[in-house]
Amino acid sequence: MRGRATLHAWLMLGPAMLLLVAFTHYPVVATLWHSLFSTPRGARPARFVGVENYAALADDPVFWQALSNNLLYALGTVPLSIGLALAMALWVNGRIAGRAALRVAYFTPTVLPMIAVANLWLFFYTPDYGLVDRITGFLFGWGPTNWIGSQETALGAMMAIAVWKEAGFFMIFYLAALQAIPPVLYEAASVEGASRFTVFRRVTLPLLGPTTLFIAVNALINGFRLVDHIIVMTHGGPDNATALLLTYIYEVGFRFWDTAQASALTMVLLLILALVALAQFTLLGRRTHYR
């Protein structure tokens, strides 16, 4: 009887487990395994090297630049895209004409594929006659700037694209959360004499708390994941100014074919994402359940 129940349990678990193992667990373990061996080349097979690949990473200045670029990229895009998303959601949620059209407009960047976005922005950033230069020229009288070609501006230009792409997506979550707040709470607050600012600070913002946390975690993960436009537009250049962990993995693994080194890099990225996920779960676990 018991054996039968166990068999049923395995049968039910089977399909999901098969997929998880094949596409998640096995690759992780295999990557870890590869990162402990040297890259096989021609006649020379892979041999066990221990943490040598990781030691090489620690000595690699490009790795450190990619890591610091990536932290800057994440710290810049996360608060900006969240703040912008909240501002847009509050505005679009208000009583303005053409509300539906505005919502669609803000959501458009989200449905565009990243490659198309990159092409679009390539045009925006074109020196002299691109949209950005036109605007800065008109407003501040600046001359032509090679936004994605110079070291000082390239990373910022990439961050702007990520923010533009993400804010509309996060706005949808904020919009849903705003609409879930019962209007009667605002009426109660207005009878109680609360100013608009007080209402925002003491009612709206706290009630958006869980949504903000959810969005923050997603934004942070995207800060390490959303690099398609960089691959298309700058390949991590100029002079590694826009190199992020993921673009560097791509470069090491598929341009230099140093798969062992790329495996070690991947493990570092995985570790960072795991830490983010861990922070998510402890924060989510502690977050106040008031509904």
Q: Which residues bind other proteins (CB under 8 A)?
A: 182, 184-185, 187-195, 198, 202-203, 206-207, 209, 288, 290-291
Residue with tokens 């395994």: 33
Report the distance separating Cα 221 and Cα 246, nearest Å: 12
Minimum distance from residue 286 beta carbon to other proteins (Å): 15
Which is closer to other proteins, CB of 40 or CB of 209?
209
Minimum distance from residue 276 beta carbon to other proteins (Å): 26
For 170-235, the DSSP string reads HHHHHHHHHHHS-HHHHHHHHHTT--HHHHIIIIIHHHTHHHHHHHHHHHHHHHHH--HHHHHHTT
* Residues 286/75, Cβ–Cβ less than 8 Å: no
Which is closer to other proteins, CB of 189 or CB of 267?
189
Report the distance separating Cα 124 and Cα 122, nearest Å: 6
Which is closer to other proteins, CB of 51 or CB of 180?
180
Question: In 122-265, which ranges are E strands?
Answer: none
**Residues contacting 190, CB < 8 A, separation 6+:** 199
Minimum distance from residue 20 beta carbon to other proteins (Å): 35
Which is closer to other proteins, CB of 107 or CB of 186?
186
Q: Count the Cβ atoms, other than its own, within 10 Å of residue 137.
A: 15
**Residues contacting 192, CB < 8 A, separation 6+:** none
Which is closer to other proteins, CB of 108 or CB of 179?
179
Report the distance separating Cα 72 and Cα 159, nearest Å: 9
Minimum distance from residue 201 beta carbon to other proteins (Å): 10
Minimum distance from residue 93 beta carbon to other proteins (Å): 19
Minimum distance from residue 181 beta carbon to other proteins (Å): 10
Q: What is the signed CA dihedral for 165, 167, 172, 178, rounded to 10 degrees?
A: 180
Report the distance separating Cα 207 and Cα 181, nearest Å: 7
Which is closer to other proteins, CB of 137 or CB of 210?
210
**Residues contacting 40, CB < 8 A, separation 6+:** 46
Which is closer to other proteins, CB of 138 or CB of 290?
290
Minimum distance from residue 283 beta carbon to other proteins (Å): 16
Residue with tokens 């934004």: 219
